[in-house]
Structure 1
């Protein structure tokens, strides 16, 4: 395991964890966006829990790589779904936001595969 892999994984976990907690605490700015994207409010706890679990999985993956791969794959799929959701809502200017959260996850998985 390289230093770069560890640092990028910690960054990815922090970003995904933050994103999950923001949804779980129903911060005003995120609830407005989710409402604008027409995501049912009954889904919000599940979405926040998925991101938070993915963040924990990335951290566990530093010690149990198969867990990190599973968590990273789940987060990449989650954020890909977020891109589709934003596009379906026709908020094209917001498409980069889920990609910003997905990028460190992809980088961590890539660095993990190279290690």
Structure 2
């Protein structure tokens, strides 16, 4: 099993969820995050509250850029399909499209009935 972490633009989360659901991967965790990379500002992507102390928008420069972190655990053989789908939906060709990280998962356990391994995520 692998865990796929994708950091994507906030305005792409709905389409990403829809595409993954259509491919048969409805289970995911999505979190609002702030981060830094080569992208220094955002234009016309999200509305930010003026009082947010983590953000500073001056002359096209921000201290942190809002993104969405999507986490999906999948069997090894399905990782490539999921990654390709995420890339297809989120690639605009512009800086700030995001990153994808793939990490090994040693085990998983479903709390409700103690299913373990692949059975716990399906």
Bin for the TM-score computed over the shorter chain:
0.3 to 0.5
By percentage of residues, which structure has more helix?
1
Which has the bigger relative contact order, CA under 8 A and spacing at least 6? 2
Normalised by the length of structure 1, the TM-score is 0.32
By percentage of residues, which structure has more strand?
2
Normalised by the length of structure 2, the TM-score is 0.31
Structure label with greater radius of gyration: 2
